[in-house]
Amino acid sequence: MASLTYADYLQLDKLLSMQEPRTSNTADREVVLAEHFFIVAHQASEIWLKQIIVDLLAATDALRPDYGNPDANLSVEYLDRVSSLMGLLHDQLVALEKMPLRHFAEFRPHLGTASGAQSQQFHQLDDLLGNDERPDGLFAAFEGYVAAQGMSVGTVCRLGASTGVLHRVAEALIDIGNGFWRWKIAHLGMISAMLGEQPGTAGSSGAGYIASRIHLPFPELRRLRGEVHQALVPSGTPT
């Protein structure tokens, strides 16, 4: 049997051949490289989104008894990894902001109707994290796990670190939610800087559409933490 190489294991021939700028070969080199950078950043984001989604699903399953023996410590491992990966998504947008406006404006017509708003994985992540109108399965699984321990999420918030792994899950959820929010804010900032009030490539309102989609995940957990904060504030203190 032939030995497995690094390139074979990662299928690098296939992976590194998937960056195909549509800018004409007669265009300035810097414009072609800018589109190449744009493609790499978005392809990398989709790969990280794939990992984030499978980790969130695994973290949810680790809290549910119908998937075997619930293990909150295992769930925390997945959630902590997701929190770090949210930071990578954010940093990729920060890097994209360094692309000169004139280069983006020159290759943007080649995008046609393609738009990040069409990313199915982003919409799946949005569903997994939930919002005020649409609860998520991850927080529901956490609520069920906490209830099985004879407590409520509100109690976990009030008692804090003394609840051990339950507290660590709650903190991990907040970290992920904040990372998601920072990522979307960075996206809004980049689009606003690049497009101003111009519409998006898929016919959306551009920056306005992105702004309308920004929310903080796990609203019920945030509400419960707010109640704990309010209960701890000394009487008569302005809030």
Structural domains present in the chain: 28-102+122-228 (1.20.58.480)
CB contact at 8 A, 107 and 24: no
* Cα dist from 78 to 18, 96, 100, 219, whole Å: 29, 27, 37, 21
**Residue 143: exposure state from Cβ atoms within 10 A (0-12, 13-18, ≥19):** middle
Given a cut of 70, whether residue 202 has pLDDT beyond it is no
Of all residues in the chain, the percent with pLDDT exceeding 70 is 88
Alpha carbon dihedral 99, 102, 105, 106, in 10-degree steps, equals -110
In this prediction, residue 109 carries a pLDDT of 87
Comparison of pLDDT for 76 and 98, the residue scoring more: 76
Confidence band of 166 (pLDDT split at 50, 70, 90): very high
- CA 221 to chain CA centroid, Å, is 18
Place of tokens 């101003």: 196
Q: What value does the mean pLDDT take over residues 24-38?
A: 87
Q: Which of 5-19, 47-61, 128-142, 194-208 has the lowest mean pLDDT?
A: 194-208
In this prediction, residue 132 carries a pLDDT of 57
217-228 pLDDT, tens digit per residue, is 999 999 999 999
